[in-house]
């Protein structure tokens, strides 16, 4: 099992970044795929057209999201990974710290690139175009 850690700075408030992930319409628009996202702890979510599913373990508006996370192509024996997104105000914007633990070894490289290609680059474009 692997842990992926990424830190990315954006020119936006922590609340705006939190909303980009937790607001179904924004999430879907930015990732260009269907997103169903519950905002409540214990609620479920499904993003990228159902390819990724899980549930919210902790939601602290504008500050932190903790979720179980599982891709449709993972083996049944693979445990759910745990995703933590933390949003922190820093000079010039916000820092997003993403930690994804319990990632099956064979998926770590793909997911490391996937976060950049499917979230951080589209987030930067979305913010630039606003």
Where do the structural domains in the chain lie, given as residue ranges? 2-129
CATH number of the structural domain 2-129 = 3.30.530.20
State the pTM of this model. Answer: 0.94
Residue-wise pLDDT tens digits, 3-40 = 999 999 999 999 999 999 999 999 999 999 999 999 99
Average pLDDT over residues 94-120: 96
Residue-wise pLDDT tens digits, 64-105 = 999 999 999 999 999 999 999 999 999 999 999 999 999 999
Strand ranges in the chain using DSSP code E only, listed in sequence order: 2-10, 36-37, 44-47, 52-60, 64-71, 81-90, 93-103
Angle at 82 between CA 16 and CA 100, to 5 degrees: 70
> CB–CB of 15/96 below 8 Å?
no
What is residue 130's predicted lDDT score, i.e. its pLDDT?
78
| Residue 129 confidence (pLDDT) above 90 | no
Average pLDDT over residues 47-59: 96
């Amino acid at each position: 099992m692997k842990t992926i850690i990424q830190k990315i700075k954006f020119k936006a408030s922590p609340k705006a970044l939190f909303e980009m992930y937790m607001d179904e319409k924004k999430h879907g628009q930015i990732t260009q795929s269907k997103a169903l996202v519950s905002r409540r702890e214990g609620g479920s979510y499904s993003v990228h057209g159902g390819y990724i599913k899980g549930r919210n373990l902790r939601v602290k508006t504008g500050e932190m999201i903790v979720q179980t996370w599982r891709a449709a192509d993972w083996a049944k024996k693979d445990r759910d990974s745990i995703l933590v997104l933390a949003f922190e105000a820093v000079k010039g914007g916000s820092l997003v710290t993403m930690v994804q633990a319990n990632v099956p070894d064979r998926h770590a490289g793909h997911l490391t690139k996937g976060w950049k290609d499917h979230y951080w680059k589209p987030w930067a474009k979305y913010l630039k175009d606003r």
